[in-house]
Copies of this chain bind each other. A is one copy, B any other.
Amino acid sequence: MISSPANRRNSLNFSGGPGALPESVLQQVQESIIAVPEVGLSILGISHRSDWFAGVVAELESNIRSLMGLSSNYHVLFLQGGATQQFSMVPMTLLRGKEYAAEYLHTGYWTGKAIPEAQREGPVRMLWSGEDMGFTRLPKDDELDFSVDAPYLHYASNETVEGLQFHRVIGRDDVPRICDMSSDFLAGPGEFDRFSLIYAHAQKNIGPAGVTVVVVKDELLDGAPTDLPGFLDYRAQIKAHSIFNTPPVFAIYVILLVTRWLRDEIGGLDAMDRINTAKADMLYQALDRSCDFYQARAHRSDRSKMNVAFTLSSPELESQFLAAAAHAGMSGLAGHRSVGGIRASLYNGLTISAVETLVSFMEEFRARRR
């Protein structure tokens, strides 16, 4: 282990993303910058065509299959372009030239970005929108009237900006479900085999910005267009085992280390969920105890375990809160620029003790200022 100089204290990182990664992973990453032990070359200079890197991709794919419990009719891909590229690739593949509308849920900032990209490619039906209520809750089952004719249903399991998370799978089992899991991917177990396509950029729970994981069911791609540029073509990427062109080698290696950490140090997705639930419960309970001072954004039933968004009574008080938090060694707590307020992101890499530090700080701040 390479320790930091004594005169440097690192901040606790509550950023909405890119987010905190586990310390033990960072130490392995640090070593790999000069030389990956088993290769003798910097991770930044290893060929993506090397046997070693083929092994990295194969092990990573296997780790993700195993953590998620995926059956063999799913492919696991590592692509570039972020969730944004998936906002386009999904409708390019499944909606172009279609008669019936794909169904989209507008539950917050990020699904709001996905919908116009789908509309470029074909008909879209907005099944439900939380915009009028300021994205403070998710739909109830009786508000959702799914159509059997839709080529697919698209929604996000977790809205990063507003801090809303589905705690159930929605939609019909006879219509393909497509889910943006960018901000809660590998954060807990799920009925992943009920989805036809899941995508998640790495920079919340599993790695650095620059790589996106796509899990896609083989039969979803029957009838996909054959005239897309290769880098936008899921089948071309499957055929090339994610090495259609030079992949982001470093970012993929970091994800591999994170999946090993999830398996070996944490003990899998159930264990990860217990930790994430404990972190979120601790923070929401602190908010609820002090609801005269801190107001949680999300309705109780739809609260996110990943992103805890709250407000104080005025923007001025929120600025004071952020400045005092930064002074106390906590960073990344400002809410997304589209909504303001405060947001504490509790991704996999953030420790329970970091949340304890935040809660103590919040109690002290309230005691001083209310």
Contacts and interface: CB of A to CB of B under 8 A. Distances in A.
Interface of A: 2, 4, 8-11, 13, 15-21, 26-27, 29-30, 33-35, 37, 39-42, 44-49, 80-85, 87-88, 117, 120, 201, 203, 207-211, 227, 229-232, 244-251, 254, 331-332, 337, 349
B2 A84 contact: no
Contacts of A34: 2, 4, 10, 26-27, 30
Contacts of A210: 80, 210-211, 247-251
A44 B208 contact: yes
A209 B246 contact: yes
A229 B117 contact: yes
Contacts of A245: 81-84
- Give the top 3 A-B pairs by smallest Cβ distance, nearest first: A210-B248, A84-B245, A30-B33
Nearest to A349: B45
A46 B18 contact: yes
A246 B44 contact: no
A27 B207 CA distance: 21
A254 B264 CA distance: 30
A349 B42 CA distance: 12
A201 B8 contact: no
A84 B231 CA distance: 7
B209 A250 contact: yes
Contacts of A16: 47
A166 to B, nearest CB: 22
A338 B116 CA distance: 41
Contacts of A40: 8-11, 331
A80 B33 CA distance: 21
A128 to B, nearest CB: 24
B208 A250 contact: yes
A18 B33 contact: no
Given A10-B35, A209-B247, A209-B250, A18 B4 contact: no
Contact of A41 (B10, B42, B117): B10
A248 B251 contact: yes
Contacts of A231: 81-82, 84-85, 88
12 contacts: A9-B40, A10-B42, A11-B39, A15-B46, A40-B331, A84-B245, A84-B246, A208-B248, A208-B249, A208-B250, A209-B248, A210-B211
Contacts of A46: 15, 18
